[in-house]
Amino acid sequence: MWNTVNEQISQAMHFDFKHTIKRQLQSPNSDKLFQLSDGIHQYFVKVAHRSDLERFENEAHNLQLLTKESLFMVPDCITTGANIEFSFIVLEWLELDQQPHTNWHIMGSHLASLHLKHRQAMFGFDQDNFIGPTTQPNRWHKKWNIFFAEERIGWQLQLLHEKGIDLVDKDYFVALIKDMLHSHTVKPSLLHGDFWRGNMGFIQSVPSVFDPSCYYGDREVDIAMSELFAPLPDAFYIAYNKHYPLTQGYEQRKLIYQLYPILNHANIFAGHYLTEAKQQIELLLK
C-alpha cells in the first residue's frame, strides 16, 4: 500500500516522493494515523478499510469547502486513493501549537464569520457524508425542523433500532422534535458539523479546524457541539456572541442539538453513551 501512497503523493505534488520516515500516531477511532516524511516534506495519512474510500473523498470535499468559505487554517487534501485492501487520505501536515492557547476569541470570531454567510436557501448538502464512521444523510429540506428531526435524530434512532435498541418510540419522538423546533427561525449556515475541541487547534496562533462533517443548517448546532464534550474557553463564546449573538431559546434547543452526537456515539460505541442518550431523551420528553 505504501508504494501506492508514495506514487500518488508524487503525482499530486509533481516531484518524486518516497518516504523514509513512517510514524504511527494515536487514533481516537478505528482509522490508522501516520506521519509520513522523506526528511524534507511531511504528510498526515489516514488509513482505513477499502470500503471507507467514499468517506475520505467526502472529507476532502468538505475540507476544500471550508478552505474556500472560512477564515480558518484548513489542511489541504493532497490525494485520496485505495488498493485492494485499504483506502487512504493524505493531508497537509500542520504542526499544532501547544495548549493552552490565548487566541480562542479569534476562533469564535472566525466561526461567526462562517455562520454569517447565508448563501443557501435550503437545509442539507449536495451529497450525503459522514460523522465519524456513520453515514450522515443530507437530503435538502425547506424547513429546518423537518430536516433535523428526520435526517439527524430519526436517522440515528433508526440505526439503533436496526441493532435491536429502541430508546423511545421513533415516530412519536421525531414528531416531537419537529414541534419543538417549529417556531425557531433559522437561516441556513455552512456548518463544520463536528465542531468539538478534538477537531480544532491553532497553527502559529491561527485557528485551525479539521475532520469536518459539513452541511447547511442552524448555526447553533456547531455551538451546541462545542459545549458537549469539553466546552471551549469563555473567550470563544464571548467573541462569537459579539459578532453573531445567539437568539432566545438556545439553551432549550441545545439539548436537542446535543442529542445527535450523543446518539451517534451510542451507535458507534454503545456502553454508557446509550445511558446518556436515554437520559437526554427523557429530559426532552418532560
Of the residues 194, 211, 218, 222, only one is catalytic, namely 194
Rounded Cα distance, 259 and 282, in Å: 11
Start-to-end CA span in the chain (Å): 53
Give the integer Cα–Cα distance in Å for 91 and 194: 18
Does the annotation mark 194 as catalytic? yes
From the CA atom positions of the chain, what is the Rg in Å? 20
Measured between alpha carbons, how far is 273 from 277 in angstroms, rounded to an integer? 6
Confirm if 70 and 61 have CB atoms less than 8 A apart. no
d(CA 144, CA 186): 7
Cβ atoms of 280 and 272 closer than 8 Å: no
Alpha carbon distance 119, 220 (integer Å): 17
Which helix (H) or strand (E) segment holds residue 82: the answer is strand 77-82
- State residue 134 phi and psi, 5-degree precision: -90, 130
Q: Which of 65, 67, 70 is nearest to 109 (CA)?
A: 70
Q: Which residues are catalytic?
A: 194
